[in-house]
Chain A
Amino acid sequence: MAHLTKERPPLLAERLMRSVLRSDAQLHGVLGDLREEWARLRKTKSRFASDLWFWRQACLVYWRFRVEPQNTRSVFPKSGLDKFVADSANDTRLALRTLIKRPLFAAAAIVTISLGIGATTAIFAVVDGVLLRPLPYRDSDRLVTVSVLREGDRSVQRDMSPPDVADLKEQATSLQSLVGYQPRSVSITSGEDPVLINAARVSEGLLSVFGVVPVLGRDLTAEESGFGAPAQVVISHRLWSERFGLAPDVVGRSIELGSGGTPFEVIGVAPEGFEFPGNTALWMPHRFSSPTSCGRACHTWWTVGKLSPEASANSLDAEASSIASSLALAYPETNAGKGFAVETLQDQVVGPVRARLWILFGAVSVVLLIACANVTNLLLIRAYGRRHEFAIRTALGAGRGQLTRQLLVESLVLAIAGGGLSLAVASGLIELLKQTATTMLPRVAEISIDGSVLLFSTVLVLAVALLTSVSPTLHLSRVSPSENLGHAARGSGGGIVGRRFRNLVIGFEVALTVILLSGAGLLARSFERMYAVDLGFETNDVLRVTLSKGGTLDEVRTFYRTLEERISSLPGVESVGSIYGAPLGPGHTTAELRVEGRPDPEPGTETYAGVRAVSPHYLEAARIPLLRGRSLMASDDVDPLPRAVVNETFVRENFPTEEPLGRQVRVLTDQGYGSPTWTIVGVVGDIHSEAVTRGAIAELYVPHGHFGPGFMTVTVKALPGSPRLFPAIRAEIRALDPRIPLRHVETVSEAMSREAAPMRFLMLFAVLFAAVAAALAGIGLYGVLAYLVSRQVRDIGLRIALGAQAAQMTMRVLADGFRIVLLGAAAGIGVSILGGRVLGAFLFNVHPNDPLAMLAALAAIVLIGSAAMFVPALRASRIDPVETLRSL
C-alpha cells in the first residue's frame, strides 16, 4: 500500500471547504479529520468510492458553514452575499417543497417549458451554425463572389465568362484576388472500379484566397490554366489519405482521371479540412481546347475572391458596375445589358435557406410564447389557490419583496428544470433536422449545441422565469391581506380581473396557435399541389443513370445506341432512351437562338431555348406527347439533314403566328461536335424540365447523333412491378466499358422527392410546431376550464338545486370556452391574412390567404377546444346538488 501515501483526497473538494472555513481550528480540525478518515476508508474501499465519500462530506461542510444560517449565525456575522445565498437557498428549498407537493402541476409546467425552450434552442442552433457563425475560413468576412447581373430582368446568373473574370481581377482595386471555378465530378480511373469524386476546375489555385497553404508541394498558378494547361492537380488531404495512404512522396506521382484515363500529375496537397467548394477532393486547371474556345459569351465560371483589407463588398460593387459599363462599351455584342452582382461568400452559401430558417425560428418562438402563456396560466391558477397562504404570510409581516422573490424563485426552479430537460428535446430535434435537411441545408456539420447555444438557452430560461412570474406576482402582491383572507375564506373563483386576465392569456394562445396552424396548412397544401403537378413526362417506374463517355461523335453515338439496345432486351424493361439535359436531372444547357431568315436580334431581345440532345426513342420512353408533325426517328440520328423537334413554349415564343414546321433554327452553343442548322419537323408537349415549381421553358430536342455529347442520362421505363433493374443495367454498362463511372443513379420519383426537399423540410417542421402549439393550447384551455368548474362547484350545485338543468350548466361552461376559442381564432385568422405575404415566397400554387387552409386551422382549433372543454363541461353537469347543499 506504499502508493497510498502519495494519494490525496480530491483537491477541488478541499478547495470548496477552504472557501467556507475561517478559523485555524476549523481548517485543521475539519480538513485534517476528513483527510484522516479518507485515508482510512481508502484501505478498504476503491479510490472512486473514497473520493465520492469525500465529495459528499465536502458538500455538506460547505452547505453547513455557508448556507445554513441558524448554525453559523451566532459564530459568524453574515455578510450581504451570505445573506443573499442563505435567503435564496431558503426560497429554493421552499419552492422545491411546494412543487414536490403538486407533482402534476410541476410536471405539466416543466414539460411545457422544456418543449418550448427545447424547440427554440434547436432552431437557434441551426440558425447559429448555418447563418450567424462566420464561415470557417480566415478573414471569412472578406470573401466575396461576383455573378452576372442581367440588367433586363435584374436576374442574377452565377456563371461568369473567363475574360470578364480576368478583367475584373485586373481592374478592380477592391479585390485582392478573384478565382474562377467550376464544380464538377470526375472519375478516378487508376484503380479497379472507377470512383466518382467532386472536383473543381479552377482558373488558379484557391488556397491563397482562403489564406491556407499546401501541406505538401504547391498550388496551381494562373499561368497553368487555360489553353495548353499542363495536366496537373492539387488533391485534398482526405484524398491523399484515402488514395495514397498519406504517402510523403505523393507529389510528382500521377492519378488517372476521366473515362479516357488521362494521367494528371499531383503537384500539391491541401491542408486538412479545406475542401472548397462543397466537398471537393481535387482541383484541376481549366484546359481549353483552343485559345479562343471560351470567350465573353461563354458563361462557365463561378467565382470566389478576397477583398483588399480596406475594401468592402459595397466598394467592390460600385467598382464592378463601372467596369461592367466600360466592358459593355468595348464589347457591345456580348456585354450589353450585363452587369456584375457582388455578394459575400457567406450570403451566397446560406442565402438560399436564410428566409426559410428565420421563418422556422419565428414559428418556434411562437411555440415558446404559447408555452410561456400556458405556464403563466398554470401559475396564476395556483397563485389564486395560494392567496390564503400569502395573505397569512403578509399578515405575519412578510414583505412584498420577500413574496415576490419567492414567486420568482418558483418560476426559476420550474424554468431551470424545464431548461435542463429541454437540452434533450433540442438534441433530438437537431438530429431530426440534420437527417431531413442534409441535402438542402448548407453547413449541416457545423450545427451543434455549443457555448453560444447554451448561453442562448440560459437566457431563454431566465426570460421564461421572468415572463411567467410577472403576472402571478402582480396579482398576489397587490391585494391587501384582509381582502385576500376574506376571499380565501369564501373560496370563490378568484376575482373578475384574474379571470379576465386568464381568458386573455388563453385567447392569445389560441390566436398564436391558429397562426401556426394556418401557416402549416398553407405549406402542406403547397406540398400536396407540388406532387399533383402534371410534369408532362412519365414519372412512374422510370429509372435513370447518367454516364460520361469520351471519344468522337461516332464513338459516343455507337456506345449509347448499343447500350440502349442491350438494356431494352433486359426482362422487365418497357423502353429505353437517353437525353442530355434530363428533366429534374443534370446537364442543362440554355443557349441563344437564331431563326434562319430573320435578322439578328437587337441586344436585349434575344431568345433562348433549352437544348436537349435525345436518342431516337427517348421522347417515346419519357411519354412526352407528340402534338404536330412527327417525332424524331432512328434515321434522324444518322441522316445528313439535321432535324429537330420543339415544344409548345418554343413555338409560342418564336413562331407565335407562323407555322413552325419546316423552319430552320440555330443555337449558339455546341458540345464540341459542332452545332448545325436544325429543321423543325414536329411539336411536342411542354414539360417541367428544370423544376417542379417552375413552368416550361422553350425547348429544342435534337438528335444525339448530330449534337453529342458524351454526357447522357440513360432513361429506362420499366414494366410496372418489375424487380430492381439497376444491377442488370449496371452490368450492361460494365460489359460495354468497365471504366465508366455511374452518376445520379436514381428513379424519377427520387428526383422529385429531392426537388421537394426544401418545401418538405419547411412543411415538416411547420406542421410539427403547429401540432405542439395546438396540444399546448388544448392543455391550457383544459386547465383553465377545469379550474373554473372546480372553483364554482358550490355555485353550480346551488343553481342545480334551485332548479337549473344540468344541461344548462354544461352549456355555461361550453359557452365560456367557445367564447375564448372563437375570439382567439378570429384574431389568429386576422393576423394570418395580414401576414400571409411572409410565407408567399415559399408557397406553390396556393394563395397566401387560401380559405381552405384558414378553415382547416379554424376547424382544428375548434376540435381541440371542444376536446379540452369536454371533461370540465361533463363535470359541471354531474355536480350533485344534494352534496352541495350538505356542504353549505
Chain B
Amino acid sequence: MALGDFEQLVLLAVLHLGDDAYGVRIVDAIEERTCRTVSRSALYVTFDRLEGKDLLESDLRGGDASRGGKKRRYVTVTAAGLEALRESRAALLGMWRGLEPVLREDT
C-alpha cells in the first residue's frame, strides 16, 4: 500500500516514540526532526485515515489536569503499517540510487 509523505512522517514518529506516542508528542517529534511545522488538524485526520487502513491502532488512557479530563489517544504501528513503511522505503531508495552525485549539495 502506497503511503503519502505525511503518513510516512507520522508512522515513523510513532515508531520513534514507542510507548509514548500520542498527538502532542508526535507533533513535537516531527517538528524537531524535520524542522517543519505540523498542522494539528491534518495529523488528526491522518490518524483516522491510517487507522481506517489498519496501519495504526489506538487506545485511550491516561491524561492529566492540563487536558481537562480528556484521555490521551496513544497510537501504535500495526504489522501492516510496518510492512507499508518497508515498501515505501524500498521504493524511495530504489529511486534514489545513483542520484547522490547529482544532488550533493557542495557541487
Contact = CB atoms under 8 A, between A and B. Distances in A.
A and B found bound together: yes
A57 B15 CA distance: 25
Contacts of B49: 71, 74-75
Given A24-B60, A25-B58, A32 B45 contact: no
Contacts of A72: 45, 48
B24 interface: yes
A61 B41 contact: yes
B39 interface: yes
B63 interface: yes
Interface stretch (B64-72, B78-86, B99-107): B64-72
Interface string B38-81: 01111011011101100000101001111110111100000000
B67 A29 contact: no
A29 B45 contact: no
Contact of A30 (B44, B51, B63): B44
**Residue in B24, B27, B58, B63 with the greatest tally of chain A CB atoms within 10 Å:** B24
A63 B42 CA distance: 10
Contacts of B68: 8, 31-32, 35
Given A29-B22, A37-B24, A75-B48, A60 B40 contact: yes
A26 B41 contact: no
**Residue in A27, A28, A30, A71 with the greatest tally of chain B CB atoms within 10 Å:** A28
Label chain A's interface by main secondary structure.
Answer: helix
B66 A64 contact: no
A40 interface: yes
Interface in A13-70: 24-37, 39-40, 57, 60-61, 63-65, 68
Given A31-B70, A64-B42, A72-B45, A25 B52 contact: no
Given A5-B65, A60-B39, A61-B40, A35 B70 contact: yes
Nearest to B42: A64
A477 to B, nearest CB: 35
Interface residues of A, number: 29
Interface size class of B (residues with CB under 8 A): 20 to 34
Given A60-B40, A64-B44, A74 B66 contact: no
A28 B70 contact: yes
Contact of B66 (A30, A40, A63): A40
A29 B66 contact: no
Given A24-B60, A36-B24, A64 B67 contact: no
A74 B51 CA distance: 11
A64 B41 contact: yes
Nearest to B58: A25
A669 B71 CA distance: 94
Given A25-B60, A40-B66, A64-B42, A32 B72 contact: yes
Contacts of A74: 49, 52
Interface of B: 22-24, 27, 39-42, 44-45, 47-49, 51-52, 58, 60, 63-68, 70-73
Interface of A: 5, 8, 24-37, 39-40, 57, 60-61, 63-65, 68, 71-72, 74-75
29 contacts: A25-B51, A25-B60, A25-B73, A26-B48, A28-B70, A29-B23, A29-B47, A29-B72, A30-B40, A30-B44, A31-B68, A31-B70, A32-B63, A32-B68, A32-B70, A32-B71, A32-B72, A33-B24, A33-B27, A33-B67, A34-B40, A35-B67, A36-B66, A39-B66, A60-B41, A64-B45, A65-B45, A71-B49, A74-B49
Q: Which 5 residue pairs of A and B lie closest in terms of their CB atoms, listed nearest first? A: A32-B70, A29-B73, A33-B23, A60-B41, A32-B67
